[in-house]
Amino acid sequence: MRGIRRLGTITRVLARHGFADAASRLVRRKKTVPPEPGPAALPKESAATARRVRQALEELGPSFIKLGQLLSTRADLFPPAYIEEFKKLHDSVPPDPFEGIRSTVEKELKRPLSEIFASFSETSIAAASVAQVHRARLFTGEEVAVKVVRPGIAKKIKEDIQLMYFFARRIEKVFELGRVIGAVNLVQEFERTVFRELDMAVEAGNIEKFSHNFRLVNEIHIPKVYWKFNSKSVLVMEYVPGIKVDQVEEIQKQGIDPKAIALIGLRSLSRQLMEFGFFHADPHPGNTIVMYDGRVSLVDFGIVGYLDEEMMRNIANVFLGYAEHNYDMVMEAIGEAGLIDEETMDLKNFKTDLKDISEPFYGRSLLTISVRDVYDQVIGLVLKYNIRLPRNLLLLFKTLIQTEALGKVLGSDASILQAMRPYAKELIERSYHYEKIFENAGRDMVKASGYLRSAPKLLHDILRQIAAGKHRIEMKLSGLQRFDRLMETGVNRLTVGMVLSASIIAGSLVLNSRQKVIEFHVDLLGGQTFSLTSLLGVVGYSIATVLGVWLIVSIIRSGKL
């Protein structure tokens, strides 16, 4: 019943924002629906329609707001107008009443709030779609930030995800656009990511990883996690006093150079990408704090990205290739990352287009580069060549855009390519160090030995199953169709040639024969006497002539004379 009521709410909201026809088609029980694009098809440059989609998601609540936030990273699927509107969904949710927060903390930590904290502010200092943050103080005197999952949000998201799957399947059935973007796959991706964000233990683990990675970097501060007070729905970490990174005047009043802060941010991101393969994927102003001593602190580690060693090396080669104008290096790195298909893509034109969009940005500082221009042109290239980017690369691209945007706010004239260049070179050099080579060789040998050990057993199992009739071996040779046609043509021509020769020989023998069978007189041209044998000879010669002419013409037309 709750699902039916929620379905009714969703359809009413869609209708209120101008999508009544789309809502009607989505809930219609008719099994076969014509696959024609309706209002749900996204007009390429309709800012008004994009705004109405965003407003509908906001009205539908936290689950759909989180879905919109995920869609804001999928510029490979949605036009720029929609991406801009989806980005506005970040941090736009009012906080829940304090009583619900108190109840959640006490239920999770199994003690009254007054026994856990010396003080606990009822006013939220930050509120997002699935959690909100309150300031508190422990009995030991430490100031802490307490992040609490909104009461009942997990259950509501589960119910909404079921409806999202229903709508996604209907969208793929009703609208061509749904099949193009893969609506069901988007819901699956959303389901994977949102439940990780709902688990505060996962975020606490992310903080610990960052703390370990930056333990020797003095300019970056990672908050301490108080594991004693943590649970699945509650995260207690060090409260970091400071200034949001976009409050430039306040930063200057503290005697801190905003440009130096921008460089710290670029160096921090470079280390995350080129040293750790683990990066903070949401560095917006609310998650980046400038401390009063000039350090930078990262907070809110709910959204992170991972890069394996091979992808890190490919990204490093891309940065180095761009920095050195070496497009062959860029193309090779993109190819090794599996982003381009040599068989289906026009690599020559792709390389030319890549160069055309990249060259105008060389040597320019952040202040003179429009982040949106870079973003739009790269995504345009992705759409033109039908490239599907992995989620972590989309997160990386979004992170680069946000980092550059923060640099521009801080008035930095630094180049992100130049900032990452030394870290990229160091990564490439490390990959060719003898210790790394031996490490990789040892790992490969261990894998190879495992394959060798398991090969006899696998072969035995395969042969046993084949003998038992459980498997069959099929061999399919491709590319022989043209050969078959050529063989058939050749055999047919040879056959015609043999018939032609036989007809000529038979006609000659018959005409030269002295035996006359069934002679008859024809009063034509003064009267002539013919026999059946001579008539057969003439017919044979005629057939041979026609076949000969046809065979010569067909051979000439084939160009294989």
Q: At which residue do the structure tokens 């990675």 appear?
A: 213
Beta-carbon contacts of residue 538 (< 8 Å; ≥ 6 apart) = 507, 511
Contact 537, 531 (CB under 8 A): no
| Alpha carbons 147 and 59: distance in angstroms, whole number | 24
| Alpha carbons 85 and 400: distance in angstroms, whole number | 19
| Alpha carbons 86 and 51: distance in angstroms, whole number | 9
**Quick one: how far is CA 151 from the chain centroid?**
33
Q: Active site includes 282?
A: yes
Q: Which amino acid is at 531?
A: S
Do β-strands 143-149 and 220-221 pair in parallel, antiparallel, or remain unpaired? unpaired
| Alpha carbons 432 and 438: distance in angstroms, whole number | 10
Do β-strands 243-244 and 288-290 pair in parallel, antiparallel, or remain unpaired? antiparallel
Of 78, 73, 100, 77, nearest in space to 89 by CA:
73
**Phi, psi of 461, deg, nearest 5:** -65, -40
Beta-carbon contacts of residue 345 (< 8 Å; ≥ 6 apart) = 385
3-state helix, strand, coil in the chain (%, to 5): 60, 10, 30
| Alpha carbons 283 and 391: distance in angstroms, whole number | 17
**Quick one: how far is CA 342 from the chain centroid?**
18
Catalytic residue chosen out of the listed positions 21, 160, 199, 282: 282
Question: What dihedral do alpha carbons 530, 531, 532, 537 form, nearest 10°?
Answer: -80
Angle at 230 between CA 224 and CA 236, to 5 degrees: 45
**Cβ-count burial 297-316 (b if 16+ within 10 Å, e if not):** bbbbbbbbbebeeebbbbbb
Q: Which amino acid is at 280?
A: H
Q: Is 112 helix (H, G, I), strand (E, B) or coil?
A: coil
**Cβ-count burial 505-524 (b if 16+ within 10 Å, e if not):** ebbeebeeeeeeeeeeeeee
Indicate the helix (H) or strand (E) that contains 140: none
Contacts 24+ apart (CB under 8 A), 431-439: 431/309, 431/313
Contact 11, 27 (CB under 8 A): yes
Q: For 142, what's the count of Cα atoms within 13 Å in the CB-facing half-sphere?
A: 15
Give catalytic residue positions: 282
